[in-house]
Structure 1
């Protein structure tokens, strides 16, 4: 999809002087090119209203690290605008541009050549005794596991209503292909190209179990059930929000009805990221 830039929302990492200064620089550049621009900090309360009214922004620029990018994308998914990140953090796997690359990229794409691609996001419900007690979205992953105590928990896994496994482990990760390079990769899960639409299911340190990482179609729902009376079990959303779970709780995960749109940097960009971060190597 290609679009013409008329309105741009710039979101900066909260409390970061460098991000704030860069936000002002980006805003001045865009304003000088007759683009309407708004700058805000990455705070949940800043997203309660559609800041631009209707129509919304044509592009959302995120100035910060991967954590900022994920948090902004999750909270602003409803705007259905493409995201482009400028990396001011350490890893920069999700952010497409570096500190020096934003101006040349904008200058080129102000001509109306901005292309975007769709990436899968997750929606989930926590069901307790037949009632939904928590719902949310995730860009990277939904994790069910024991966080504070170094003890195993028994978790059941189902797909499409069919029970597939019961495993004792530190946790189970259900990730998007985008998130397969994050916690899932650290736990030994597969690398799945971000343009695909599938669940990536990985057990964290399974004990005496043959459970292998799974890649499953998104046409059905995944479910993770806490199968034993335990304390300290929680759901973690993108590693940024935690919700305590009880024995018998079921976390139902499905494809979000809204996809994540990101600026398209070309077919080679994904593999370049893998190589630059050591996830692909050449002998």
Structure 2
């Protein structure tokens, strides 16, 4: 339930004309009502995660959500996504529907779904370490090497196997409908506590997706990696990965908080976004 006056941060994808027009319309509606206090309109790289606000309205696509929750870092807030992109698994509301449903949002007539996030620790051969927070997936990809990539997977310190192909994905349930789905991985319900390991174009027919627990630590190595191999976080952070590098993926200390309105259940969303119309009757 939001406070009597909810403090709103509007986060926009970019400064393009279309996004600015929608943001201005939302800003005008919110500032005209006593229930709302808009503390700012910012792009994702301008987010001050420690500022005072209780709700984020993200205007763009799922990429805007991914950047927003990463910028929020250890100070996650509930996020409402307004879709100006394509599919919009996370940005599920149109601008018109958001404006129409403002009264129920003001009443707190919604659910907040907490979703698994991950921390990816990339240890370089020179001893330096980068740590990234993410929501969708970590991808270790052959990329510009243009050669078969062998990825060694260990879970909780136990060697599982090695995968030869175009790469390997470690995805959250939210990320299971992104790159992992395109690579033939399963769809996981978004509130599951699990990761899915999905090979990308594997060379062996027996290499299949694997689902394991959210409390596990997933370690990736590529001992024969050629120049051009990349470690990619949420499709947005891209770092070269050398043959002596190590990536460790584990559950983050924080969770992504997604606002779900009535009529926007998970399976309802899949039905609409994936065209699950079912078989014709008769």
Q: Normalising by structure 1, report the TM-score.
A: 0.91
Alignment-derived partner of residue 20 in structure 1: 20
Greater mean alpha carbon deviation, residues 197-206 or residues 75-84:
75-84
Equivalent pair of 1:203/1:211 in contact (CA under 8 Å): yes
Correspondence for 1:113 among 94, 105, 109 = 109
Q: Does residue 1:3 correspond to 2:5, yes or no?
A: no
Cα distance change on mapping 1:26 and 1:240 into 2, 3 Å: same
CA RMSD of aligned residues (A): 1.9
1:215 Cα deviation from its structure 2 partner? 1.0
How far, CA to CA, are the matches of 1:229 and 1:116 in structure 2? 42
Q: Deviations over 1:227-259 (max 9, x none)?
A: 214111111111111000100211100011010
1:221 Cα deviation from its structure 2 partner? 0.5
Contiguous gaps of at least 5 residues in structure 2: none
Alignment-derived partner of residue 86 in structure 2: 90
Equivalent pair of 1:167/1:209 in contact (CA under 8 Å): no
How far, CA to CA, are the matches of 1:230 and 1:201 in structure 2? 22
1:48 Cα deviation from its structure 2 partner? 4.6
1:112 Cα deviation from its structure 2 partner? 3.1
How far, CA to CA, are the matches of 1:107 and 1:267 in structure 2? 15
Alignment-derived partner of residue 127 in structure 2: 131
1:281 Cα deviation from its structure 2 partner? 4.9
Q: Deviations over 1:81-103 (max 9, x none)?
A: 10111111122221121121011
Alignment-derived partner of residue 38 in structure 1: 39
Map residues 1-283 of structure 1 onto 2, 5 A cutoff.
2-4=1-3, 6-34=6-34, 35-44=36-45, 46-48=46-48, 50=50, 53=51, 56-129=52-125, 131-208=127-204, 210-266=206-262, 269-278=265-274, 280-283=276-279
How far, CA to CA, are the matches of 1:24 and 1:147 in structure 2? 40
Equivalent pair of 1:174/1:202 in contact (CA under 8 Å): yes
How far, CA to CA, are the matches of 2:44 and 2:277 in structure 1? 38
Q: Normalising by structure 2, report the TM-score.
A: 0.91
- The count of corresponding residues between Structure 1 and Structure 2 is 277
Contiguous gaps of at least 5 residues in structure 1: none
How far, CA to CA, are the matches of 2:108 and 2:269 in structure 1? 26
Equivalent pair of 2:136/2:171 in contact (CA under 8 Å): yes
How far, CA to CA, are the matches of 1:38 and 1:25 in structure 2? 16
Q: Secondary structure at the match of 1:188?
A: coil
